[in-house]
Structure 1
């Protein structure tokens, strides 16, 4: 049996002190949104409690599906690197980036430099994404939908070149008998698309999954718990989203902070995977198991 933890949308706080010169372009609108809305909805105390509970599960591997920072300033990216070090060693944690990690041009490249092996793995060529991490019979395949965008947009992008590489990886890992778990920040399902914050290339992503198969897709971005599916090779591929890890109780925008824990076991020629969702309720102060279900 292998256990896989999934956490997303960290949005580390508090926001560092910034000057107006630091807030040119999109960062200005992002800063105002944080000060007017988000600073009361996302907080470090909630995140610390959730992470401590998750770490007590001693999962074999932890997948972080993006948005570790808010405005992608260097101070934030460096602090996120320290947070990752506390979360676990590089051989047990992998990050796929979110739109906030690529908030402005050059931000994602800076994060790649500072986060290092947390955002690296086996690749087909000199392109960073998708990369693969293998843990026993589990293959974690990390894609990137993170691109800088104009103010008031939080869209992601999945292009044909990355799709071609993902297809080849899925084929190789499938033929080798791995449980293939694909990470992407933006949700790929049609039900969760929106012109201002959806995934450009979501149809292409689903086509690749349908053609080559996968066992599980994990995403963040919506700040809500969700379960959808994509048609695969003779079976539905579960697509699971998780609430923001720093979302405070009583917030009006998001589900309270949660993480998911997957128990993956070989069953003859196939697999079984049971998901448990842990997190805060709307009321009460305890972290509880909110859901348990077999997803494959």
Structure 2
């Protein structure tokens, strides 16, 4: 099986400042003034074109399709992704897709827009989504919640983990926006990481996923299975950002046969090309 994993797309959409308030206004101005140039339209077009030509069995998108979870941003993201939205696609939300309270309920914009590709709910009170693609089970979690101040903290409730482990009886791929592990040189601040990830990793050891796919931190890596987290952790963020000295950006294809092979694609000279993956041992970072 070939799993193509992209994340943190942050598709650009010009918005009226009069349609924004509070945190959304500050976040949008930050995007327009500081981050927009890092996600050029030519790169986004090149990514869509490259993926359209690649062979894969499942396409996983691990969140942050928008910037401030504005309704027009969701419409824009769906339009851009339309060539890739098939029964092979599985999408979960990122913190920017939950940026405002109106993006969460009672009629969440993310679910309203991408409901066809988020899988089936395994619990009416918890965000646990499942989808079988090509004989492989994918489980999606939502580690995001709307916070009034400008932070990006994540959290997965213990009952979400417990319920998942109790329901899943076959090998599975777990998809969630926030990392469970970071390289030593990419340690996140407390305002950016999953607050209880140590507890989550400890719980997962009783029935670990085959892979954990995430985004959030805008640089690529593959953490190989280790003693504390006995599963691979793959970060494909950001797939639509220009790389620089601090960010190695792109996306992965994970080929699962008798062994696991990782392929990485990066944007270079107006197109995506294949390059070497970035591997870490668990001891080279922290949970």
- TM-score category by the smaller chain? 0.7 to 0.9
Residue 204 (1) aligns with residue 191 (2): no
TM-score normalised by L of structure 2: 0.87
CA shift digits 1:81-127 (9 cap, x unpaired) = 223332121x2101111000000113141211121121232x43324
- Counterpart CA distance in 2 for 1:198 and 1:294 is 21
SS, match of residue 199 in structure 1: coil
Q: Distance in 2 between matches of 1:155 and 1:292?
A: 27
1:240 & 1:164 partners in 2: Cα distance? Answer: 22
Task: Measure, in 2, the Cα distance between the counterparts of 1:83 and 1:287.
Answer: 17
1:163 Cα deviation (Å)?
1.4
RMSD, aligned CA = 2.3
Query: After TM superposition, which residue ranges in structure 1, 4 or more long, deviate above 4 angstroms?
Result: 229-233, 292-295
Q: Give the corresponding residue for 1:98.
A: 94
Residue 137 of structure 1 and its aligned partner are, at CA, apart by 3.3
Residue equivalent to 1:138: 136
Deviation larger for 128-137 or 70-79:
128-137
Equivalent of residue 236 in structure 1, options 225, 230, 248: 230
Q: Is this contact kept in 2: 1:206–1:230, CA < 8 A?
A: no
Count of residue pairs the alignment pairs up = 274
Q: By how many angstroms is 1:60 displaced?
A: 0.9
Task: Answer yes or no: is the 8 Å Cα contact 2:4–2:56 preserved in 1.
Answer: yes
Task: Quote how far apart the aligned CAs of 1:287 are.
Answer: 2.1
Deviation string, structure 1 residues 142-168 (Cα, Å, up to 9, x no partner): 111121113320111111121112212
Q: How does 1:178-197 map to 2 (within 5 A)?
A: 178=171, 180-189=172-181, 191=183, 192-197=187-192
Distance 1:62 1:161 in 2: 27
- Correspondence for 1:273: 260
Does 1:216 find its partner at 2:211?
yes
The verdict on how the C-alpha distance between 1:292 and 1:247 changes in structure 2, with shifts beyond 3 A counting, is closer
**In structure 2, how many angstroms separate the alpha carbons of the residues matched to 1:104 and 1:277?**
33
1:156 counterpart residue number: 154
Give the TM-score normalised by structure 1: 0.84
* CA–CA distance in structure 2, aligned partners of residues 242 and 211 of structure 1: 26
Contact 2:223 2:279 in 1 (8 A): no
Paired position in structure 1 for 2:284: none
**Higher mean Cα deviation, 134-143 or 123-132?**
123-132
